[in-house]
């Protein structure tokens, strides 16, 4: 199979109902929490992607039995002390920041050193942001260059609770400290800038000792030592971050309509919808329901509406943090100059995404000015491409790949996008859904 994708023409109108795969954040959290439960937990619609497989491999290495069958996954938890910490154990988080950072919270009580490694992209990312708070519990974390993987964690049986101020709006840092707090006597107190709250909702559903006081800008979270986690079944809803690519494709396609079924619309994740609606997109939620504390709905999008530039309020950033690459494609086609600020975190993702956004906009001939944390995009409603475009050397960032595909299908031109395999980390089914939308094209 050639590993680059060629796209030679725009998509024409479509009218379809699709389902995208399970939410990645929820899938990884379920694997980790189920592995410490006392008994067998079962998940349906678990995301089967490299990031989640890496989470399954990690808990297997820690002695937990996992059985995968089609879209079902069974985890045989052995209780809170069920992990078998062996000498010379290495856990490979591969490309997953979520797995790499969250699992450290669970490993905080290992008295045997455990090594954490990752792929080329993860090895460039900042792990000091989690090793700093975790070492305050009394664990020792040694990192390469004091910042990166490989990392060695040696925890302790005598952990001390901490007070932690999470200022970046990182759900990974917040969750890692919540999980460490669950293994620590006393009360851990976290003041966290708003970020996705799947960990808190799952803990609440499981009646774990995690309480949350929601304030305007910060959440105040108190965590106590957990006594037992009951096994729990979970039907994973579809991922809004994966849906976002098709939402944007529809918004940019005249006379098209799409329904994405059963998507997680947690308030802390719907920034993409809020931003696109402010720009004039026609998007509505249908069949809303609540499942284990998470909100779910079908998302209906009608394309081809007039799109206006946005001066994006920073308060919408955290809910759209994984979606800005594709959101910027809408700004490229909007009327007027869009401005996005306070986005320094984007350069801490699988690739430096703010820089890559600017590169892609340059490739498609859209004037933009970028700094370390802001981007100004000069939209062109008549944007139509004829030229050749090649995307490569992007650290195999799945979202850069998928953004390239959506740009090609929306704006035309002849595209060659390298490293098709990059989508396997989060959304292996992505290109099959594109095929489905192109039927009758
Ligand atoms: C995630 C949190 C976010 C997000 C990532 C998934 C999570 O990262 O970008 O894709 O599941 O907790 P940060 O915590 O670095 O913001």
In eight-state DSSP terms, residue 216 is S
Using a 6 Å cutoff on CB, does residue 426 contact ligand 1? no
98 lines ligand 1 (CB under 6 A): yes
Best residue among 96, 130, 171 to mutate for probing ligand 1, ranked by most atoms within 8 Å of CB: 171
In angstroms, the CA 115 to CA 153 distance is 6
Q: How many CA atoms lie within 13 A of 280 on its CB side?
A: 15
Catalytic residue (choose from 23, 239, 322, 397): 322
Contact 232, 278 (CB under 8 A): no
Cα 381 to ligand 1 centroid, rounded to whole Å: 32
The beta strands (E) that lie in 8-113 are given as 15-18, 38-44, 65-69, 72-78, 89-92
Torsion on CA atoms 238, 276, 428, 439, rounded to nearest 10? 100
For residue 211, say if its preceding peptide bond is cis, omega within 30 degrees of 0. no
Query: How would you write the pLDDT of the chain (441 residues) with one tens digit per residue?
Result: 469 999 999 999 999 999 999 999 999 999 999 999 999 999 999 999 999 999 999 999 999 999 998 769 999 999 999 999 999 999 999 999 999 999 999 999 999 999 999 999 999 999 999 999 999 999 999 999 999 999 999 999 899 999 999 999 999 999 999 999 999 999 999 999 999 999 999 999 999 999 999 998 899 999 999 999 999 999 999 999 999 999 999 999 999 999 999 999 999 999 999 999 999 999 999 999 999 999 999 999 999 999 999 999 999 999 999 999 999 999 999 999 999 999 999 999 999 999 999 999 999 999 999 999 999 999 999 999 999 999 999 999 999 999 999 999 999 999 999 999 999 999 999 999 999 999 876
Angle, helix 398-411 to helix 430-438, in steps of 10 degrees: 10
CB 321 less than 6 A from any atom of ligand 1: yes
Residue 202 Cβ < 6 Å to ligand 1 = no
Q: Is residue 171 within 6 Å of ligand 1 at its C-beta?
A: yes
Q: Which of 243, 237, 333 is nearest to 287 (CA)?
A: 237
For the CA of 169, the closest atom of ligand 1 is 16
pTM to 2 decimal places: 0.98
Sign of CA dihedral 305, 311, 315, 317: positive
Dist. CA 40–CA 65, nearest whole Å: 10
Residue 312, H or E segment:
strand 311-312
3-state secondary structure of 27: helix
Q: Which two tokens stand for residue 387?
A: 């030229």
441 labelled catalytic: no
């Amino acid at each position: 199979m050639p590993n680059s994708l060629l796209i030679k023409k725009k998509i024409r109108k479509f009218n379809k109902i699709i389902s995208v795969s399970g939410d990645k954040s929820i899938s990884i959290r379920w694997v980790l929490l189920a592995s410490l439960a006392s008994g067998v937990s079962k998940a349906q619609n678990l995301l089967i992607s490299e990031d989640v497989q890496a989470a399954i491999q990690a808990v297997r290495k820690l002695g937990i039995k996992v059985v995968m069958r089609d879209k079902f996954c069974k985890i045989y938890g052995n209780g809170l002390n069920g992990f078998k910490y062996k000498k010379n154990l290495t856990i490979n988080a591969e490309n997953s920041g979520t797995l790499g950072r969250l699992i450290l919270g669970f490993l905080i009580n290992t008295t045997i050193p455990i090594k954490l490694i990752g792929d080329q992209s993860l090895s460039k990312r900042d792990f000091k942001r989690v090793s700093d708070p975790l070492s305050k519990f009394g664990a020792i974390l040694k990192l390469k260059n004091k910042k990166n993987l490989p990392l060695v964690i040696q925890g302790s049986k005598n952990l001390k609770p901490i007070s932690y101020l999470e200022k970046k709006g990182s759900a990974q840092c917040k969750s890692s400290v919540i999980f460490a707090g669950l293994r620590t006597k006393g009360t851990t107190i976290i003041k966290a800038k708003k970020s996705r709250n799947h960990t808190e909702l799952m803990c609440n559903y499981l009646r774990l000792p995690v309480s949350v006081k929601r304030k305007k800008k910060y959440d105040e979270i108190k965590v106590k030592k957990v006594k037992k986690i009951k096994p729990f079944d979970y039907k994973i809803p579809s991922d809004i971050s994966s849906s976002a690519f098709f939402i944007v494709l529809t918004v940019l396609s005249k006379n098209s309509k799409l329904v994405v079924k059963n998507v997680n619309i947690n308030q802390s994740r719907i920034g993409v919808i809020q931003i696109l609606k402010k720009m004039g997109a026609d998007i509505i939620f249908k069949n809303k329901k609540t499942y284990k504390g998470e909100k779910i709905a079908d998302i209906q999008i009608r394309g081809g509406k007039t799109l206006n530039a946005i001066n994006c309020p920073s308060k919408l950033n955290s809910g759209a943090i994984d979606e800005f690459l594709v959101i910027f494609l809408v700004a490229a086609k909007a009327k007027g100059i869009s401005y996005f600020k306070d986005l320094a975190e984007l350069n801490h993702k699988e690739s430096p995404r703010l820089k890559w956004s600017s590169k892609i906009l340059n490739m498609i001939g859209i004037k933009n000015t970028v700094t370390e944390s802001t981007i100004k995009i000069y939209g062109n409603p008549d944007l139509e491409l004829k030229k050749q475009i090649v995307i490569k050397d992007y650290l195999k960032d799945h979202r850069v790949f998928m953004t390239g595909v959506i740009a090609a299908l929306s704006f035309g031109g002849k595209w060659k996008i390298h490293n098709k395999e990059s989508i396997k980390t989060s959304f292996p089914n992505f290109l099959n859904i594109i095929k489905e939308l192109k039927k009758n094209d």
